[in-house]
Structure 1
Amino acid sequence: MVSVRSGRGALVAVLALVAAGCTIEGHPTGPLPEPPAALAKFYTQTVQWGTCSDFGSQDDRFAPSAQCARITVPIDYAAPDGPTAQIAVSRIKASGRRIGSLLMNPGGPGESGLTMSALGNKTPLAERFDRIGFDPRGVGSSTPAIVCETAQEQDAERAEPQKDNTPDGIAAAEKENREYADRCAERTGTEFLSRVGTREVVQDLDVMRAALGDAKLSYLGYSYGTKIGSAYAEKFPDHVRALVLDGAIDSSQDPVQESLRQAAGFQKVFDAFAAACTSKPDCPLGTDKTQTVQRFRELVNPLWDKSASTTDRRGLSYGDALTGVRQALYTNDLWPVLTLGLAELRDGRGDTLLQLADLYDGRRDDGSYSNTTDAFTAIRCVDDPRISDRGITGKQDAEYRKAAPFLDDGRGTGAAPLDQCTAWPVPNTTEPHRISVTGLPKTVVVSTTEDPATPYQAGVDLADQLGAALVTYKGNRHTIALSGGSQCVDRAVIDYLVDLIEPEPGLTC
């Protein structure tokens, strides 16, 4: 079973949608709520905006008008006089009659959100809101950072041969998991590592809201960002002005259920990709739609024993090949790139799939890495309950292979390693549960019918729990709002965020 991030993906171009201007006055949000006395110094801090030159990395492309700052939060909210963390934020100021701030998060967990402040250019969002991107605690340019592995260690790990589910293979995989957890504890510190989960991020978000001068939160979250948003709604319902949650995570699902839903989602999108590919004579999967899984396995299975050659001499491993394929399935915009990658693999080369895998894993052109992968693991392991029953993990592995046969290497044994989080050095801080909240204003959930990473039903279920309006998008991609893919979705989202106009019941785009 593979744990898969559910962020928007770095190759998805955020295309501005030109929308009609709005003439309705902004909505006053009233006086700031009184902060908890022990936390007042954080809630009332003054944000010092400046250049973004010391934020992000060589891969980040800030808009010329973007400003950046850091907002101070306590590492442990129960000990506000103790050590602090710095949350990196970016801002593009409203160009017209300002409603307030719109905070945005791309998901992951572990994805940097600083360049999200450019989302919604040339729309009423740019006129009416200060658009705010942020890196959650431990992520990206926020400090301290979650650090588990060096770039050299990550490269070496990715190049390693796959381990099968024999007793020796399982023992070796679990040993590596323990060693990885030990490195995370040593390099990040268990005090901070135990407080990087959604529980703390939600409290950070409320501090950010107040420090930015907003009595009520307006928020747009994608993928794992929907978990942040729904958890905020649960803890601070009276602090919410507007929430849009696109690519929903249903917090009532346990990790096993979530992984199996995700496997089925990726299989559906792979089948859609394969159907489109086989309609063309040069498809590397052939022209028979009934044989595409077999043809795919014939391309990737040899990588189990020998990597494909690449120009940078690292080679394309079996694991990297599947990572690259999954990255391309996040959006149909990348299907032509995936077709090219599979055609190269057919010819014994792996450059394109390796580039896709690098994108997913946060590897930069200079060989360094973002901390996305380490942060993903650390956050997941404090958010999710441990699965320490080998009977469950073995059954999960078997069911995963059935749900996503294109990812089945054919080496299943009915057993599987314990999940990576079983060896984690700090306990989980949340449990799966249905969200129950009163006093929450109307919110909006957007869910895509063939979303591979956050399947459609999760959005239906989350909307039900929040009493939210559900917007359905028919398509094959992960998240859709403000990405240039649907004027229908964008119009509904913008009208709601700007004027609090609820989408029409049952809206399908």
Structure 2
Amino acid sequence: MAAVAVVALAAACSTTVPGRSTPAQSSAGGESTASVAAPASTAGGGAPNQALRKYYDQSIAWGSCSSFAATDDFDDPGTSRLQCGTITVPIDYSNPGAGDATIAVDRLLAQGTKQGSLLVNPGGPGGSGVQLVGGSATNWSKLAVNQTFDMVGWDPRGVGASTPTIRCYTDAQVDANRQSTLGDDNSPEGIIKQEAFNKENAELCDQKMGTNFLAHVGTADTVQDLDVLRSVLGDKKLSYIGFSYGTFIGAIYAEKFPHNIRAMVLDGAVDPSEDPSKSNVRQMAGFQTVFDDYAKDCAKSAACPLGTDPTKAVDNYHKLVWPLIDHPVPASPGRPLSYQDAATGTIQAMYSPNLWRALTVGLAQLRTGTGTMMQRLADAYQGRDANGHYSGMMDAFTAINCMDSPAITDPVALGRLDTELRQAAPFNDDGRGTGHAAKGACAYWPAKNTLSPHRVVVPADMAKVVVVSTTHDPATPYANGVSLANQLNAALITFEGSQHTASFEGNTCVDGAVTRYFQSLTVPPAGLRCSE
């Protein structure tokens, strides 16, 4: 297993890390890189062909969100403005008669005169847009953009309340995988065991979900679903904001349906042109930067568990977490804190300064032999609720990534990547590197990836897009936003901060520019920089 031990071993397909964003509570991430041929539907913004007409012409029976809220933590703003429904899409757009999938959708109705729908995606891959809107309805209601736009969330195919739902592992299996030490052994024998495990889990997912469905869960199909949803909502042009991996959805949509865009904000950018290995290394360097920022902030207090000298923070962190490899500490009943979960919990806290206090508490607890807070952070990252049920985001994360990017299978390349990752993020190095690493589950995936890295190419007359990029973004480094803005000929908003994504997080500079853009199509001024 690669140095980034933040994804459950069963999901070991990529070293990138997932997450999600909500207004006023940022925590998104998880990236992939890809390209795709034009679809059989409305490439370039034309009318759908006859075989797809019924999907574009369907309507949503809006109603109660009770069925969705049964599995999601919905936030009712105290009005009837939150509604839910579903649409139907073909599993295979090139063969619509081969079966359908159901896409879950919710919307928070505009409070004033409606301009249209604003579709939102939280990232991941595997994040729930239904949860993003329904779970933060009160926060969305406070935003000026909700005065004139219905806020619309949707669960991409295979995700959340959409069906079929990608579920490869039981809750008990995920709990067991999080306690596994298999990934700690990078000896030749250990590599063989890891690869056998990853192969077994890829086959298990194939058995549960079927090759045909898994072959069509990637972003190539998701953007076509997004265009169907645009049509069903009655919007001639798409208004969209995507966070983190959601920027990748937006970029590929722009390439396939450039003339169907009204306004698009891409915050926390994935660079579709970047080699996956380089992307992984750059991402982990970003996490190291934010870890260093955290260490400097923590060091202001004499009680900082990493000490008051930030230059020694990595060494002091290792002293706290490395012993967990061989000796997990008590956390919750039946689930001691493993090293893997401590690493995961630390990564979770890097997404937002709002989580730094929790990390400090968690690290302080480790000094007393307790892992409660670190496990809570890891549970939040892994999508585990208080009842021990997992959201399935990690299953979807693996399946979508496997379709969105070619797997790295060359042993030399894998070993080199493992070494580079350890060097890029010393805090996340478990000290057990050997220069070798195992192939992940994607190397054994039953379906061939449909996307590969490339520069996105869009026509000059496409509507102006806006990219938001944060200077110290841990999961999607600032340079990604610069590159994506260049590819899309987009306006770039620079946010100076140490967090992942910035839109609708309460910064008046960013929020004002984004809101004006959506409501009046006023493009932000060139070189706009916003600070915390």
TM-score with structure 1 length normalisation?
0.94
The reply on whether 1:462 has 2:484 as its aligned counterpart is: yes
Name the residue aligned to 2:320: 299
Q: How big is each residue's C-alpha offset from its partner over 1:159-196, in whole Å with a ceiling of 9 and x where there is no partner?
A: 11242211111111111101110110011111100100
Q: For 1:396 and 1:382, locate their aligned partners in 2 and report how far apart those are by CA, in whole Å.
A: 20
Name the residue aligned to 1:13: 25
Q: Which of residues 255, 263, 286 in structure 1 aligns to 2:307?
A: 286
Q: State the Cα distance separating 1:312 from its structure 2 match.
A: 2.2
Q: For 2:209 and 2:22, locate their aligned partners in 1 and report how far apart those are by CA, in whole Å.
A: 25
Unaligned runs of 5+ in 2: 5-14, 28-44
The reply on whether 1:235 has 2:247 as its aligned counterpart is: no
The reply on whether 1:477 has 2:499 as its aligned counterpart is: yes
The reply on whether 1:71 has 2:87 as its aligned counterpart is: yes
Q: Which of residues 429, 434, 442 in structure 1 aligns to 2:464?
A: 442
Name the residue aligned to 2:279: 258
The reply on whether 1:145 has 2:165 as its aligned counterpart is: yes
Q: For 1:76 and 1:444, locate their aligned partners in 2 and report how far apart those are by CA, in whole Å.
A: 31
Name the residue aligned to 2:122: 106
The reply on whether 1:131 has 2:151 as its aligned counterpart is: yes
Q: State the Cα distance separating 1:14 from its structure 2 match.
A: 6.9
Q: State the Cα distance separating 1:59 from its structure 2 match.
A: 4.2
Q: State the Cα distance separating 1:96 from its structure 2 match.
A: 1.5
Q: For 1:168 and 1:318, locate their aligned partners in 2 and report how far apart those are by CA, in whole Å.
A: 21
Q: State the Cα distance separating 1:269 from its structure 2 match.
A: 0.2
> Which protein, 1 or 2, shows the higher relative CO under an 8 Å CA cutoff with sep ≥ 6?
2
Q: How big is each residue's C-alpha offset from its partner over 1:307-361, in whole Å with a ceiling of 9 and x where there is no partner?
A: 1111323010010110010001100110000000000011110000101111111
C-alpha distance 131-504 of structure 1, shift in aligned 2 (>3 A): same
Name the residue aligned to 1:314: 335
Q: For 1:335 and 1:346, locate their aligned partners in 2 and report how far apart those are by CA, in whole Å.
A: 17
C-alpha distance 256-192 of structure 1, shift in aligned 2 (>3 A): same
- Aligned ranges for residues 261-276 of structure 1 at < 5 Å? 261-276=282-297
C-alpha contact 2:23 2:140 (8 A) present in aligned 1: no
C-alpha contact 1:181 1:423 (8 A) present in aligned 2: yes
Q: For 1:98 and 1:10, locate their aligned partners in 2 and report how far apart those are by CA, in whole Å.
A: 22
Q: How big is each residue's C-alpha offset from its partner over 1:88-118, in whole Å with a ceiling of 9 and x where there is no partner?
A: 0001111222111110000000011113333
Q: Secondary structure at the match of 1:54?
A: helix
Name the residue aligned to 1:18: none
Q: State the Cα distance separating 1:7 from its structure 2 match.
A: 2.9
Q: Secondary structure at the match of 1:39?
A: helix
Q: Secondary structure at the match of 1:430?
A: coil
C-alpha contact 1:14 1:482 (8 A) present in aligned 2: no
C-alpha contact 1:383 1:431 (8 A) present in aligned 2: yes
Name the residue aligned to 2:188: 167
Q: Secondary structure at the match of 1:88?
A: strand
Q: Secondary structure at the match of 1:450?
A: coil
Q: For 1:187 and 1:46, locate their aligned partners in 2 and report how far apart those are by CA, in whole Å.
A: 31
Name the residue aligned to 1:373: 394
C-alpha distance 10-34 of structure 1, shift in aligned 2 (>3 A): closer
C-alpha contact 2:21 2:243 (8 A) present in aligned 1: no
> Which amino acid in 2 is paired with 1:141?
A
> Which amino acid in 2 is paired with 1:99?
Q
Q: For 1:123 and 1:160, locate their aligned partners in 2 and report how far apart those are by CA, in whole Å.
A: 44
Name the residue aligned to 2:528: 507
C-alpha distance 131-107 of structure 1, shift in aligned 2 (>3 A): same
C-alpha contact 1:33 1:215 (8 A) present in aligned 2: no
Q: For 1:424 and 1:10, locate their aligned partners in 2 and report how far apart those are by CA, in whole Å.
A: 32
Q: For 1:37 and 1:58, locate their aligned partners in 2 and report how far apart those are by CA, in whole Å.
A: 36
> Which amino acid in 2 is paired with 1:207?
V
C-alpha contact 2:21 2:132 (8 A) present in aligned 1: no
**Among the aligned pairs, what percent are the same residue?**
51
Unaligned runs of 5+ in 1: 16-31
Name the residue aligned to 2:142: 122
C-alpha contact 1:12 1:333 (8 A) present in aligned 2: no
Q: Which of residues 103, 109, 122 in structure 2 aligns to 1:93?
A: 109
Q: For 1:427 and 1:48, locate their aligned partners in 2 and report how far apart those are by CA, in whole Å.
A: 36
Q: State the Cα distance separating 1:222 from its structure 2 match.
A: 0.1
TM-score with structure 2 length normalisation?
0.90
The reply on whether 1:212 has 2:228 as its aligned counterpart is: no
The reply on whether 1:339 has 2:360 as its aligned counterpart is: yes
- Aligned ranges for residues 342-357 of structure 1 at < 5 Å? 342-357=363-378
Name the residue aligned to 1:324: 345
The reply on whether 1:189 has 2:205 as its aligned counterpart is: no
Q: For 1:244 and 1:180, locate their aligned partners in 2 and report how far apart those are by CA, in whole Å.
A: 36
Q: For 2:393 and 2:23, locate their aligned partners in 1 and report how far apart those are by CA, in whole Å.
A: 15
Name the residue aligned to 1:38: 51
Q: State the Cα distance separating 1:209 from its structure 2 match.
A: 0.3
C-alpha distance 423-264 of structure 1, shift in aligned 2 (>3 A): same
C-alpha contact 1:382 1:430 (8 A) present in aligned 2: yes
C-alpha distance 336-383 of structure 1, shift in aligned 2 (>3 A): same
Name the residue aligned to 2:453: 432
C-alpha contact 1:52 1:62 (8 A) present in aligned 2: no
C-alpha contact 2:59 2:232 (8 A) present in aligned 1: yes
Q: Secondary structure at the match of 2:330?
A: coil
Q: For 1:348 and 1:215, locate their aligned partners in 2 and report how far apart those are by CA, in whole Å.
A: 58
Q: For 1:48 and 1:425, locate their aligned partners in 2 and report how far apart those are by CA, in whole Å.
A: 36
Name the residue aligned to 2:9: none
> Which amino acid in 1 is paired with 2:262?
R
Q: For 1:7 and 1:490, locate their aligned partners in 2 and report how far apart those are by CA, in whole Å.
A: 21
The reply on whether 1:154 has 2:174 as its aligned counterpart is: yes
- RMSD (Å) for aligned C-alpha atoms: 1.6
C-alpha distance 228-498 of structure 1, shift in aligned 2 (>3 A): same
Q: State the Cα distance separating 1:80 from its structure 2 match.
A: 1.1
C-alpha contact 1:62 1:115 (8 A) present in aligned 2: no
C-alpha distance 10-241 of structure 1, shift in aligned 2 (>3 A): closer
The reply on whether 1:387 has 2:399 as its aligned counterpart is: no
Q: How big is each residue's C-alpha offset from its partner over 1:435-473, in whole Å with a ceiling of 9 and x where there is no partner?
A: 011031110000000000000000000000000000000
The count of residues paired between Structure 1 and Structure 2 equals 492
